[in-house]
Structure 1
Amino acid sequence: LRGEPIETACAYANACGAFAVSRLLCSAEYPSWDELQHFLRHGPATRQLRHDKALNDLHWATTRDARMPAAAHPTTIMAFAIDHRMQLEAMADEAGAPRERIRDLKVLAVEAATRVARGRPGFGMLIDGTYGREALFRAADQPFWIGRPVESPGSRPLDIDGGGSLAAKLVEWPVDHCIKCLCFMHPDDPADLQARQERELLRLQDAARTIGRELLVEIIAGKHGRLADDTVARVLARLYAIGIRPDWWKLEGQPSAAAWAAVAGTIREHDPRCRGIMLLGLDAPAEVLAEQFRLAADCDAVKGFAVGRTIFGEPARAWLGGGLSDAAVVDRMAERFGALVDTWTRFRPQA
């Protein structure tokens, strides 16, 4: 085996056999090379290898690419987020438009994103299943990374939308759809709130791993406390400490380069195989986002952005109110998304 002496080859074979037996005799559960080396160097935390969290985390991180098509694991990501529900409901109500029109808007958003992407890799969308079912079907025709929300809109404490068995619901999704969960979390939250939100995130991660889906955790801290240079890094450190290891993070713009360095350092320390960070928009004006892009682009853990209302907000209001045609709203959204893409690639030319 790779020219190794018989003793080493037998150690590898015995270890792989132990993994297969503990993981219910499935060859797909054989350890990856990195996982095998970790096991031989450090041994298991428990005789039941399938319950060893460190090994399971390593197995997932080193085998997930093979489970997904290439578009599902981009090295850079520029995403149009239109998974909003309550915000679009408020816009429709304000305009006197039926909420059913939100479905059509999301389909038009896919058209706008498609126009900007032009078939290139590194583009994506966040789309919900509540109003975005047809949009998800349309997006499947493109080489997009796709993320879908599971949180109940605006919930704090975090509540997973829909109720019932989480895994039973998620297993119906295409395997390349990334689970996205927004959690409003601040390190100074009361202990009972913190504990409840952490339980939900752990439950979600367990479901995601069980059915083989990637997980994006979105953290917004600044709406519920001061956003200092160490605020978000403290949130991430706490989540890592309890075993949360999402494939992606989605984070708000940080107040300084030092804050981004703290965030990146926390991720490197706890999960160097994390895919990275997407920058969110929080309905910021384009010029504010440009400054946030500039600051974030110097942080190598940031792989791109996923922005919504900065792109669709004003055009959606006009369209819902009857002031824009379908073609015109697509033009407006494509123009705004394209401008953000140009801004990001100016600061990160390799994107």
Structure 2
Amino acid sequence: MTVPVTPAPTHDDPLLILAMDHRGSFGSSLFGVEHESPTDEQAQGMRRAKQIIYAGLRDVRSQVTAGRVGVLVDEQYGAAVVGAAPADGVVLAIPIEASGHDWFTLEYGDKWLDHVREVGPAYAKVLVRDNPSFDASDRSRQLDALAEVSGALADARVAFLYELLVPATDEQKASVDGDADRYDRDMRPELVTRVIADNQQAGVAPTLWKVEGLETVDAARAVAAQARAGGHDADLIVLGRDAPPERLEHWLDVAAQVDAFVGFAIGRSIWEDTIRDWTRGSVDDAEASARIGRTYLSYAQRWVGDIAR
């Protein structure tokens, strides 16, 4: 399959992604899957749920007044969505990391790039957990692996989406008395910039950084400055981290004030509660899709409204 050439998003022409590439956590939290080994019935339910989530996005895409609608979806349970999205004019991103690993591991081993070429997504996504205080040798191996992926995607002319999570170490948690909000506000921005710098030094060059929301405009500007440091021209999008609506809205409001932020990738905050209700039988397929579509559209409209101000 030919890899599509997708115009790069900009602050005023954003990429607004509904993320549903969750696999292990999707099954365990919503379908009762144990040890990442779903029964046939559970797997069928997960596949159907992803189609319902996508239907909500598809049905409201024409109401998004600026930017492009995107979906980040796995092939394991979202193969039907992978096949439908390009034909629907929805920007397709797929994960290439294996689910459920502490350190970055490729889903398809040394065949991963052949697989990307076969699918033909606009973006290939990696999920990485990193912190400058993690074990140095483990970090070095992870950075080397990511540099290989980065170079291979560049040669293949496939855009590289790097999802970065920076969890606190035990010592960092203790330094803020276990207050997660203080960690997010006072510590995480500097750690994010250091991790981005370490990746850049290792030769990792994403097209887009997908980062956790930031509490202040100054913090967002500092992270954006690092993403573009040293001749790098990467932009950023905000991830949702299953945050409650008021927190997520604040993160979007902050990011929208920084030109290097060019959209969002929000997942569980949009669909998790609705899919839980669906699994319990309290909403049918149509109502579940409609609720998901309305929630996605509310975040898309908020971003568009923020950048217009």
Alignment match of 1:305 (pick from 241, 264, 282): 264
Render the CA deviation track for 1:148-193: whole Å, top value 9, x for unaligned: 001112321111113242222222121x431000100112111012
1:74 aligns with 2:9: yes
Look up the equivalent residue of 1:114 and give its one-letter code. Answer: R
Q: Residues 205-264 of structure 1: CA distance to partner in whole angstroms, max 9, x if unpaired?
A: 132123221111111003545542311111111111111111111000123222212111
Please say if residues 311 and 333 of structure 1, whose CA atoms lie closer than 8 Å, have aligned partners that are also in contact: yes
**Alignment partner of 2:144: what SS?**
helix
- Judge conservation of contact 1:123–1:144 (CA < 8 Å) in 2: yes
1:215 counterpart SS class:
strand
Structure-1 separation of matches of 2:98 and 2:5: 28
Corresponding residue of 2:178: none
Give the distance between the partners of 1:261 and 1:134, measured in 2 at CA: 38
RMSD, aligned α-carbons: 2.2
8 Å contact 2:205–2:232 — kept in the other structure? no
Aligned to 2:161: 216
Distance 1:104 1:147 in 2: 19
Structure number, greater radius of gyration? 1
Distance 1:203 1:243 in 2: 8
Query: Partners in 2 of 1:256 and 1:280 — Cα distance?
Result: 16
Distance, in Å, in 2 between the alignment partners of 1:119 and 1:137 is 22
Out of 152, 158, 174, the position equivalent to 2:98 is 152
2:278 pairs with 288, 297, 319, which one? 319
Q: Which residue among 109, 116, 121 is the counterpart of 2:53?
A: 109
Q: Which amino acid aligns with 1:232?
A: V
1:100: which partner in 2? 44
Q: Which moved more, 1:310-319 or 1:249-258?
A: 249-258
Q: Deviations over 1:54-97 (max 9, x none)?
A: xxxxxxxxxxxxx8444x53331111111111121111117996
What is aligned with 2:250?
A: 291
Q: Is the 8 A contact 1:294 1:347 kept in 2?
A: yes
In 2 relative to 1, CA 272–193 (structure 1 residues): closer, same or farther, beyond 3 Å? closer
Residues 1-351 of structure 1 mapped to structure 2, 5 A cutoff: 68-70=4-6, 72-75=7-10, 76-90=14-28, 91-93=30-32, 98-118=42-62, 121-174=67-120, 176-224=121-169, 225=172, 226-227=183-184, 228=187, 229-274=189-234, 276-349=235-308
Please tell me whether the aligned partners of residues 17 and 70 of structure 2 are also in contact (alpha carbons under 8 angstroms): yes
Q: Tell me the TM-score normalized by structure 2.
A: 0.84
Residue 104 of structure 1, CA deviation = 1.4
Residue identity in the other structure for 1:148: I
Deviation at 1:273, TM superposition (A): 2.8
Q: Residue 54 of structure 1 aligns with which residue?
A: none
Aligned-partner Cα distance in 1 for 2:287–2:219: 40
1:182 partner SS: strand
Provide Cα deviations, 1:90-111, integer angstroms capped at 9, x if missing partner.
Answer: 1111799622211112122221
Q: How does the TM-score come out when normalised to structure 1?
A: 0.75
Query: What SS does structure 2 have at the residue aligned with 1:295?
Result: helix
Q: Percent identity?
A: 25
CA distance in 2: counterparts of 1:279 and 1:156, whole angstroms: 22
After superposition, the Cα gap between the structure-2 partners of 1:300 and 1:218, relative to the gap in structure 1 and judged at 3 Å, is: same
- Cα distance in structure 1, aligned partners of 2:215 and 2:87: 38
Higher relative contact order (CA 8 A, sep 6+): 2
Q: In the alignment, residue 198 of structure 2 is paired with which amino acid?
A: R
Instruction: State whether residues 23 and 99 of structure 2, in contact with CA within 8 Å, keep that contact through their aligned partners in structure 1.
Output: yes
Distance across 2 between alignment mates of 1:181 and 1:142: 24
CA drift of 1:272 comes to: 4.5
Report if the CA contact (8 A) 1:232-1:263 is conserved: yes
Q: How many residues align?
A: 281
CA distance in structure 2 between the aligned counterparts of 1:154 and 1:349, rounded to whole angstroms: 39
Q: Describe the shift of the 1:80–1:269 C-alpha distance in structure 2 as closer, same or farther (beyond 3 A).
A: same
SS in structure 2 of the partner of residue 93 of structure 1: coil
Any stretches of 5+ residues in structure 2 without a counterpart? 173-182
Task: Give 1:119 deviation, angstroms.
Answer: 7.2
